[in-house]
Amino acid sequence: MTDKQYGAPVADALAPAKRKRRNTLLWILGPALVLIVGGWLYLTSGRYVSTDNAYVQADRATIAPQVAGRVVEVDVRENQVVRKGDVLFRIDAEPLQIAVARAQAQMEGITSLLDAARAGFRSAQANVRSADEALRVNEAQYKRMQELRRKGVVAQKDVDDAANNLADARGKRDADIAAVSKAQSLLGGLPETPNADLSGYKLAKAQLEAAELDLDHATVRAPIDGTIGKQNLQPGDFLAPGQAAMPLVATKGLWIDANFKETDLTHVRAGQPVDIEVDTYPGHAWKGHVASISPASGAEFSVLPAQNATGNWVKIVQRISVRIAVDDVNSDQVLRAGMSAVVKIDTGKQNSLLGRIEGARAEPEARVAVSAH
């Protein structure tokens, strides 16, 4: 026989051995692979919680005038980026300028009145001194007339005239004293009191400052850095105080509002790291951290909260808002309010026995650090 004649039987004899070894290897590697994958899933399950119910948020300011008037100038357009202090629009300032001029005139009038009161006070004091001297002379004259009348030297008419002169002197002295009191009341009791400490002057000054403030408010400026939203303000429009003119969305201080299921928040704490992806920029990730967790579910803040004490109650998993601070907003990709995002929070939870022990030790330290922060 040739080798070819023996080749087929030898190969047929070796085939079952190879299959047996392969099957044995599969029986060993298969369960091992399952155990490895299952162990990895066990160790990592629950550590990360994520949701796509998340949106970029930003501070928003509704621009409204503080004084009423007709718009004479609009210096911005829709979607324009502005800086804090930039002029947005102007209101007709002419009526406000007139009010300032009126308040300034009142201020000058009060100042003149106070100066006149000081001069009147000094004049009244001089009149009081003169009246005191005149009263002293008339009292002495009246006493002399009475003495001469008792001696029969003068007539009764002379005594009566002296009495009338004495009464006139007393009346003039009382009038001069009243003039001094009136001047003192205008000057706060003392002529040396500065104008700035007098109530009349304070009132006039406050009215002038209010008029000047209204004039300054005729020019409406941006309170923050941001971008102008949708607006249709045109010159000629009349605005009342507090009437919304245009929205302004801040370009700084962005954050993410993520609405997690209540069952996902078991191990979520403030300060935990977060990975953020925004639908607008696929493949780009932002880093952030949990800033705070809402004290109530979104349903509690609705206009009509759910009434769960009813007969047809159905349990619905609630969602709790989690505010996530974005740590690296200064990237080339611009985030805008309302963009959809996907967030993943690393809770640090470990399912292994060692991880549970370490997590139990680290959790109080993390809480202390967050509280101190």
CA 114 to CA 108: how far, in whole Å?
Answer: 10
CA distance 348 to 361: 12
Residue 241 is encoded by which pair of tokens?
């105080």
The residues facing 287 across adjacent strands are: 275
Q: For the structural domain made of 65-92+218-243, what CATH number should be given?
A: 2.40.50.100
Q: Can you give the residue ranges of every domain in the chain?
A: 48-59+250-372, 65-92+218-243, 95-214
Which pLDDT value is given to residue 166? 74
Contact of 205 with 107, CB cutoff 8 Å:
yes
User: What is the Cα gyration radius of the chain?
Assistant: 46
- The secondary structure of 229-265 as a DSSP string is -S----TT-EE-TT---EEEEESSS-EEEEEEEGGG-
Q: What is the pLDDT of residue 288?
A: 94
- 274: helix, strand or coil: strand
Name the CATH architecture for the domain at 48-59+250-372.
Answer: Beta Barrel (2.40)
What's residue 287's pLDDT?
Answer: 93
pLDDT for residue 276: 94
Q: Tell me whether the CATH fold assigned to 48-59+250-372 matches the one assigned to 65-92+218-243.
A: no
Q: What is the pLDDT along the chain (373 residues), one digit of tens a residue?
A: 444 454 555 555 556 767 777 777 777 777 878 877 776 666 556 688 999 999 999 999 999 999 999 999 999 999 999 999 999 999 999 999 999 999 999 988 888 877 777 776 777 777 777 777 777 777 777 777 777 777 777 777 777 777 787 787 777 777 777 776 776 666 665 666 777 777 788 889 999 999 999 999 999 999 999 999 998 999 999 999 999 999 999 988 899 999 999 999 988 999 999 999 999 999 899 999 999 999 998 888 888 888 888 888 888 899 999 999 998 776 678 889 999 999 999 988 765 544 555 555 555 554 444 444 4
Compute the distance between CA of residue 138 and CA of residue 132 in angstroms, rounded to an integer.
10
pLDDT score at 10: 52
What is the per-residue pLDDT for 199? 77
Question: pTM to 2 decimals?
Answer: 0.64
Give the angle subtended at the CA of 194 by the CAs of 177 and 96, to the nearest 5°.
Answer: 115
Tell me the backbone φ, ψ of residue 122, rounded to 5 degrees.
-65, -40
Q: Where are the alpha helices (DSSP H) in 84-190?
A: 94-151, 156-186
Judge whether 78 and 229 are in contact, CB under 8 Å.
yes
